[in-house]
Amino acid sequence: MITITHTIKSYAKINLNLNIVSKRKINNLHQIESLVALIDLADEIKISEIRSKKHKVIFRGKYSKGIPKFNTITHLLALLEKEKIIKKKYRILVKKNIPQKSGMGGGSMNAASILSFFLKKKILTKKLSEKFAKKIGSDVILGLNKFPKVYLPSGKIRVLKTRIKYYLLLVKPNFGCSTRKVFSANKVFSKSKLGKLKNVSKTMIINSENDLENSAFRLYPNLFKLKNKLLSWKKAEFVRMTGSGSTLVMYFTKEVSAKNALKMSKRKLNNCWCILSKVI
């Protein structure tokens, strides 16, 4: 029997803006609104069917250390088996190129990519893929296709057919941010600004913010210092934290400007992970 191995990419996501609209009194969860896009930084996933009593999920690569045995992929496989969606066993090997606790949704996007794979193989329908995405995590649905999306406070998403073109320099310090702590410490709330958005303009994006920067910078003062240093270079259109951190994103309209900023970062930011990317 010849085993076929399928290779897929699991792209990182960035929040071009993030508004905390409210906090539910019932479950204490925040309602957020965000413009989200995928970028060309990606984990590599290899999927193959195996003859075994159990699935095999393996993480390798520089950023694989510390991933728990119960993760977004094992959770997804368990749910699909429980509802008898899949009957075969799979070996899933993930090469982690996306740092953990970076605000780029590496684990969530891994689950989203596997859902998209099962959808392509007609093991799942579009409706079922969205159903299971929501069961794994609120942001998993953002990775089911490559289009930019508006995540609404209701939990619904609006897919934008227009592309967003930016070259990026991703800068992550040598520490991560705790999503739970950053959200718990948040004291900034904004009005809904994207509810009726149909087209994305760069002016709108530049004038937006990430409300979680306030709490992240209070919890991690060195992150605040790092952003100010990036701003002082005056090379980017704007600089903004993605998600709950700790990655700061420098946005450029020209690739050459991003490359020049990378050269400077290599000279001045010895303790940071810096890499070029772009919105896809």
- Residues classed as catalytic: 13, 139
> Distance (Å, rounded) from C-alpha 112 to C-alpha 275?
23
Burial class (CB in 10 A: 0-12, 13-18, 19+), 232: exposed
Token reading at 75: 């959770």
